[in-house]
Amino acid sequence: MSSPRIDVSIEHRGAPGPPGKRHPNTCPKCESHYRDDELDANLWVCPQCGHHFPMSARARIASLADPDSFVEEAADVRSEDPLHFFDLRPYAERLAEAELKTGLGEAMVIGQASIEATPCELAVMDFAFMGGSMGSAVGEKFSRACDGAAERGIPLVSVAASGGARMQEGILALMQLPKTVAAVEDLKDAGGAIVSVLTHPTTGGVLASFASLGDVVIAEPNALMSFAGPRVVQQTTREKLPDDFGLSESNFRFGHLDAVLARSELKPYVARLLRLFSHNGD
């Protein structure tokens, strides 16, 4: 099966360029090629060079949650097309195509889970669904995840992967920034903890809202996280960008992250945090 082209029709400033003809299972760094099951068995990390492939929301949840512990919530929330947005193709068509391609109803999956036996609420994004862009449905799901965590008195773990706000929903997409932030503040007032994991790429409106507001913010290696993407910055400033522009390592150096962790270290690290926040550290 040939790879579907990555959809660039979102506020997509920071996302990686189109993959060209390369197969999605071919490592862009060392050109090694893998079957799905080989990558799946290795957390979608290249066994040769350690490159982190994009991970679907389902695979991410499987990698973090204890087996069979995940119970999905708000699975029926779907985007509408309030502006009847039509660029080169209708928004409704793009949505249907994204659902077919990913098997997901939206770019975020939420639900209850436990991680190393500590219960938590999960909110996980999927970049394959319209570039992980945030519209009303993603905002609503995140908002409900915050409420779920608050009601049960458990921490929220969010995993971001997003090109930013979803342009096809216009100003309503921008309003998901204040919406998700208000949900975070309600959760924080209820005493809830938030662990925010940033994966490649986390840019634009998602970085500028809930993803930056974790009590602890961590990222995967070599992931792009910037408000404006490299191309926009290049075009605006006409400067040569540093080689590590916007990458996790650079963000860590400038003090915006608590840790940069390889995917294999993620679950134990998050589990430890959850124990600490749940006062069960022993």
Partner 1 sequence: MATDHELRLRERLARLRSVSLLGGARLSTELDKLERQLARLAEETTDEDIWRSVELARHQDRPYTLDYVERLLDDWTEFHGDRGRADDHAVVAGLGQFDGRTVAVIGQQKGRDIKDRIDRNFGSAHPEGYRKAMRTMELADRHGFPLITLVDTPGAYPGVAAEQHGQGGAIARSHALMARLDVPVVACVIGEGGSGGASALALADRVLMQENAIYTVISPEGCAAILWRDAGEARKAAAAFKPDAAHCLELGVIDAIVPEPGGGAHTDHDAAARLLGEAVHEALEELQPMAADERKRRRRGRFRSIGVYA
- Binding test (CB under 8 A) with partner 1, winner from 62, 92, 232, 259: 232
Cβ proximity to partner 1: between 62 and 208 the closer is: 208
- Binding test (CB under 8 A) with partner 1, winner from 5, 67, 68, 171: 171
Long-range contact set of residues 273-278: C-beta below 8 Å, sequence gap at least 24: 273/155, 273/193, 273/195, 273/216, 274/115, 274/116, 274/118, 274/120, 274/155, 274/157, 274/195, 275/116, 275/118, 277/155, 277/193, 277/215, 278/118, 278/154, 278/155
CB contact set of 52 (below 8 Å; sequence gap of 6+): 44, 45, 46, 199, 200, 220, 221, 222, 223, 262, 263
Q: Which stretch binds partner 1 (CB under 8 A): 23-31, 41-49, 119-127, 228-236?
A: 228-236
Using rule CB under 8 A, residue 187 touches partner 1: no
Cβ proximity to partner 1: between 111 and 135 the closer is: 135
9 to 68, contacts with partner 1 by CB under 8 A?
A: 9-13
Q: Which stretch binds partner 1 (CB under 8 A): 34-42, 48-56, 225-233, 270-278?
A: 225-233
Structure tokens at 18: 């189109």
121 to 150, contacts with partner 1 by CB under 8 A?
A: 135-137, 139-140, 143
- Binding test (CB under 8 A) with partner 1, winner from 5, 88, 100, 281: 88
Using rule CB under 8 A, residue 236 touches partner 1: yes
CB of 73 to partner 1, least distance (A): 15
For 157-223, what is the HEC assignment? EEEEEECCECHHHHHHHHCHHHHHHHHHHHHHHCCCCEEEEEEEEECHHHHCCHHHCCCEEEECCCC
Using rule CB under 8 A, residue 78 touches partner 1: yes
CA distance 214 to 113: 18
Using rule CB under 8 A, residue 243 touches partner 1: no
Q: Which stretch binds partner 1 (CB under 8 A): 26-34, 46-54, 208-216, 272-280?
A: 208-216
CB of 172 to partner 1, least distance (A): 6
Cβ proximity to partner 1: between 177 and 216 the closer is: 177
